[in-house]
Amino acid sequence: MLHATKFLFSCLILLSANAYAEYGDIILNRTADAMREAEVDDVVFPHWFHRIRFRCSVCHENIFKIKAGSNEISMSTITEDKQACGVCHDGLVAWEPLECERCHALEEGWSSGAIQHSIREDEKKNILLGIVGTVAKPYSKFMEIGTGWHPLALAKSGLPLDKYGLVNWADAVRKKIVNPLWSLNPEDDISEHELRDTNILFTAKGDSMPDVIFPHDIHSYWLECKICHGTQDGPMFIKELGANNVTMMEIGQGKWCARCHDKIAFPISDCNRCHNHPKGKPISNSVLIRPLKVAPPPTLPPIDEPAQQNSVDSDFF
Ligand code: HEC
Ligand code: HEC
Ligand code: HEC
Ligand code: HEC
Ligand code: HEC
Ligand code: HEC
């Protein structure tokens, strides 16, 4: 099998596409010193390439905690323990970690989060590598799962785009252009995954912006409840209407919605995709309305809370 893989490596390299860094790419470099010693570049993890195949919950947080830099990964974790990237990059679901540069791919001038295109024309990256068998006749059920779809590069993938030219992942799933999997286990029953369809109204303080209707449905399509409500380092959101004192200032600092938006999900600069409900427009009965005042946490004296809230509001915008 190893020989077959190597043979395919050398054949398929001819078909390879150019390398791109894309929105949502994450640079992994906790082990920078060891990587420099081994003369490999930092690792670039492409979210887009994985999310066309897998919903977020396949990796978060069973395999990776949902915070950049919080996962300790080494080559022995991957190749010997078959953990982290090695859960899939083991020659079954995806190619084995033989070709260092497919992961150790950071190029000069790249940083994660932004859309950038490589100027380097070399052909070191080939997204078709590693297939033994074909999509029509995969050599294992796992391979079929891993290799479902092969756009040559994001730019050529035909995925719907938003006004910034970033992939509109909400449309991509609504229009069934991608159908990422919930699980690596072919036996797993998709109906066991919980969806929630409540919409929640966040009344934006002040008059400058439309209100926000938070849709549970698209979020629970991609993410299991526990990613938001049982996050490993403390819940992103307490699972109770109005229990979270969400402010735009803190979102701007990377908290709350910006734990994902601005990083992997669409960016914060796309204001009206969240501020989607004009003030005064009638609200359908099914929308849950958050209580306006947040009850102060029991450990704080009750008088502190309103004062703090007011100063936060007037300082922002
Ligand atoms: C194939 C596995 C995989 C899938 C699928 C995946 N992620 Fe990730 N995600 C990662 C890895 C790896 C990291 C980096 C972790 C680290 O740096 O320690 C990461 C990091 C993150 C972070 C942290 C970013 C930051 O700056 O702190 C967020 C947020 C995130 N992912 C959201 C998502 C969302 C939303 C989805 C689904 C749309 C998703 N991920 C799908 C593997 C995955
Ligand atoms: C849930 C399974 C899974 C995990 C976990 C995973 N990958 Fe992947 N990855 C895949 C699959 C499937 C492909 C596509 C394989 C193919 O096209 O044959 C892929 C493709 C890639 C690519 C695409 C670009 C190319 O040249 O082929 C890179 C880079 C990559 N993975 C890096 C990583 C890194 C780094 C990690 C760990 C931080 C990781 N992956 C974790 C399943 C996974
Ligand atoms: C599937 C993706 C992948 C491939 C392929 C891969 N690596 Fe890594 N490698 C990683 C990740 C992820 C880390 C952890 C990066 C971090 O968090 O700092 C890492 C870390 C390392 C480190 C530092 C930590 C340690 O284990 O000593 C070295 C050295 C390294 N890789 C060498 C290599 C070499 C040499 C190859 C080719 C034979 C290779 N890697 C192939 C993903 C990969
Ligand atoms: C993207 C993050 C996210 C995901 C995933 C998510 N929720 Fe929520 N959930 C929220 C937010 C935000 C609120 C509003 C909290 C507030 O009002 O302060 C909320 C509120 C709730 C509430 C109270 C309001 C209501 O809808 O009745 C319940 C119950 C709840 N979530 C259950 C779930 C369940 C069950 C799932 C999985 C099927 C889930 N949530 C998935 C973010 C999420
Ligand atoms: C755990 C990650 C995560 C968190 C936290 C999160 N989102 Fe999202 N959100 C996503 C993903 C993934 C999508 C799918 C679209 C994408 O990836 O750009 C999405 C989509 C949406 C959409 C649908 C847009 C459309 O075109 O249909 C809205 C609206 C939205 N989010 C608002 C919010 C708001 C408001 C909050 C905070 C209260 C929030 N999100 C918190 C991950 C997250
Ligand atoms: C990912 C979703 C999301 C995006 C994108 C977003 N907001 Fe917000 N914004 C919210 C939520 C949720 C609230 C409600 C906070 C609350 O309950 O008061 C809010 C509240 C506000 C408020 C009211 C003041 C406050 O702190 O509550 C203003 C003003 C505001 N946003 C401006 C903006 C502007 C300007 C942009 C674009 C640059 C933007 N927002 C983009 C989710 C978002």
Q: Which two tokens stand for residue 191?
A: 């109906």
Determine if ligand 4 sits within 6 Å of the CB of residue 55.
no
- The SS3 of residue 161 is strand
Distance 209 CA to ligand 6 centre (A): 8
Of 199, 200, 209, 310, the residue with max ligand 6 atoms within 8 A of its CB, to mutate for a pocket test, comes to 209
Provide the pLDDT for residue 292: 66
Of 5, 49, 135, the residue with max ligand 2 atoms within 8 A of its CB, to mutate for a pocket test, comes to 49
Residue nearest atom 22 of ligand 3, based on CA coordinates: 35
Query: What are the structural domains of the chain?
Result: 2-174 (3.90.10.10), 199-291 (3.90.10.10)
State how far the Cα of 227 lies from the Cα of 220, in Å rounded to an integer: 10
Give the H or E element holding residue 9. Answer: helix 2-12
Q: What is the pTM of this model?
A: 0.87
- Between 296 and 277, name the one with better pLDDT: 277
Distances in Å between the alpha carbon of 251 and those of 205, 245, 258, 261?
14, 11, 5, 9
| Phi, psi values for residue 14, rounded to 5° | -65, -25
Determine if ligand 6 sits within 6 Å of the CB of residue 247.
yes
State how far the Cα of 21 lies from the Cα of 118, in Å rounded to an integer: 7
Distance 145 CA to ligand 3 centre (A): 24
Ligand 5 residue neighbourhood (C-beta within 6 Å): 169-170, 212, 214-215, 218-219, 222-223, 227-228, 236, 246, 256-257, 259-261, 265-266, 273-274
Q: Provide the 8-state DSSP code for 138.
A: B
State how far the Cα of 265 lies from the Cα of 145, in Å rounded to an integer: 24
The residue type found at 115 is: I
**287-289 β-sheet, strand order:** 212-215, 199-202, 287-289
Instruction: Read off the pLDDT of residues 107-137 as tens digits, 9 standing for 90 and up.
Output: 776 665 544 333 333 332 323 223 333 444 4
- Cβ atoms 58, 183 nearer than 8 A: yes
Provide the pLDDT for residue 297: 52
Percent of the chain's residues with pLDDT above 70: 70
Range name among 152-161, 222-231, 249-258 with the lowest pLDDT average: 152-161
Instruction: Read off the pLDDT of residues 60-117 as tens digits, 9 standing for 90 and up.
Output: 999 999 999 999 999 999 999 999 999 999 988 998 999 898 899 887 766 655 443 3
Distance 181 CA to ligand 4 centre (A): 22
For 186, counting Cβ atoms within 10 Å of its Cβ (0-12 exposed, 13-18 middle, 19+ buried), the class is: exposed
Range name among 13-22, 45-54, 216-225 with the lowest pLDDT average: 13-22
Distances in Å between the alpha carbon of 97 and those of 32, 39, 78, 100, 130?
18, 16, 8, 7, 10
- Between 5 and 180, name the one with better pLDDT: 180
Provide the pLDDT for residue 317: 30
